[in-house]
Each structure stands twice: as structure tokens, then as C-alpha cells.
Structure 1
Amino acid sequence: MTESTIKKREVKVFLDKDISTLNTFRTLTLFGKNAATYKFALCHALLKQNGQTSELRYEDLQESFLRELVKHYKNNPHQFSRRENSLTREIDLYLASERTSSDWSRLSTAASKNIFNDVFRAYQNVGSGTLAKSYMLFEDQRKHKKITMTDRLLSVLENNQAKQIISNENQAR
């Protein structure tokens, strides 16, 4: 089992006091970088999955993730503190457009080039470190452009009440 590399004591204490998957999501939401708009979008996109299979291809997650990313970026631009990049420029163009299906298609095509560059690897980083393998929600198989959802994440996807709690807490941020 891979040990946690979390360096911030208060984050490690918060995570370890309750080993539930709900608390893992809380830890990522509360202590992950608030400037990381992608974390909120990825959380919602993951919660929309049905959990019928543990493997999820990047392309199958893109539409949901991009819609959530645009929505969160539009409502909380201050949470994206990184400098402008090709994706944010495309999102800004889309938000300034009439938002037709053609505009969405253009955004989606542009986003497909780099939307998942570091998202999966960074999502489970918190407190200047990475979650222990026992807390992981998924494993990124970047080479194959897919993730494998762990039993922890799959158990949440089967529990509508847990999904709603996580979604509400994530949206409040």
C-alpha cells in the first residue's frame, strides 16, 4: 500500500479521523487548491457516472467535465488564478458567443487537445502531497487515456444520498 505524502498536519488529521469515502471527497474539496477550478468540475462529472463499469475513458468523461468546467469558470472566475491558457481563451470565446451547438463543438474540439493534461494526477493531491493508495478514488492510466475507478468511488456512485451530499458540498465551494 502506498503511503500518503500529505505534508500539512491539519489535512492529514482531518482525512485520517474519518476514513469514509465521503470524508475523502470533503478533504479534496476543503483542502485542495481553490484556484483549481477543474477539481469542482471533475467532482461533479465523476458523480454523474453510473458506476456500471470501473473503467472510464477520458473521451467518455469529456462532455460532462467540460460543461461543469465552463459553468464553474463562468460563475467563479476568481477561482482560476493561473495565467490565461489556450483552454481559458476558448472558454472565454464560448462564453462571449451566442452559445450555439456550433460554438460548443468548437470549444469541445479545442478542449480535447489538452483538457485532461494534469487533471487526474492533480485531483488527488492535497496538503502539499498525495492521498495514500487506500484513499484513492481512481487510478489514472494516462497512457491508455482512461481512469479506473476504485471501489471507494464506485460505492459512492451506487449511493444517491452520498452523491447528493458530495454534490451539494462541492457546489457550495
Structure 2
Amino acid sequence: MRNRSSQPAKRPKTVTRITKLRRFLFDLSEEFLDSPQPRRLPPPAAGGSRVPECGARPPMSGSKLRIALAQINTVVGDFGGNEKRILDALKRATQLGADLVAFPELTVTGYPPEDLLLRHSFVERSERLVRALAPQVKGVTAVVGFPERRNGKLYNAAAILCDGEVATTYQKIHLP
């Protein structure tokens, strides 16, 4: 592909990022497949916790990160049922040695919530549920999708739950 100046066109940065991500995921999957046993957290120090500090980086040489993809079947508006599904998936992933559990977008509310997002009470309830889930997340990090209202704007967000708290949230801003 050439541009008007007869020079080779530069590859867009997104293509380069995607290629790097694919290589990373391939390398990660190769390591995962080579691992006969799930990675376990180290035993607790005297009087301490075996759970690493949220956001702490383990040494990269020789360490592995086990990621669980929790493709759960949520129901739109069924907050109690969705909470149970989330907790069941977290329990199973933790038992299997996952370090990170990733849930789909809008997991808390079910997908697609459509016009229910126009109700402030619906969004507030989903935000309360995320805060209620956080204390139950121990020994693993979870990424849970939910709608979030911030500064009067509604976002499709993801909460990072770690060590019993909401460590941070991320708002999706580039929608197709």
C-alpha cells in the first residue's frame, strides 16, 4: 500500500498494538498449557496474609498469571441471581487457581439492559451491588462490568475488585 508521495504507508498504531497483544496472548497460552499445576499463592508470613497487595507486581521471570474468563449467563434486571452467578464463578475460578477473573460487560445488570439504564434507581442499585461484591473478593482479582453514573454521565464501566475493595473503575468511552 502506498500513499501519494510514493513512500510506503506507515502501519497504523492500532495494528501494531493488536499484533503485540496477539503475540503476548500466544506466549501466555503456551506457558499456561505447559503448566501441569495451577499456580498457588505463597504460604502466609508469620501473622500475615498470603494474599498479595492489590496491584502488587509479582516477579516476571518464571511467574505465570492464570486468567479465568467467566462467561456466565446473566439475566437482565436479576440483581440477586446475577450476584449469585458472579460469586459462584469467583469461587470456582479461585478453586482452580485463577489470579484474575474477567466477567463480561454489564455483568451486574445483565445484557442488554437497554432503557432500564434511563432509571437512576437501576444504575444506583448496580453500583451498590458492585460495592457489596467487593468484600467477598479475596485471594483473586475480579473485573466486573456494570453501568456507572459519574458527573451526570452514564458509562459502561468495569470495576476492579481486589482484596475486599473496589480498587478502581474504568469507563468505556470509545463505543462502536
The structure with the largest alpha-carbon Rg is: 2
TM-score by length of 1: 0.26
Higher strand share: 2
Higher helix share: 1
TM-score by length of 2: 0.26
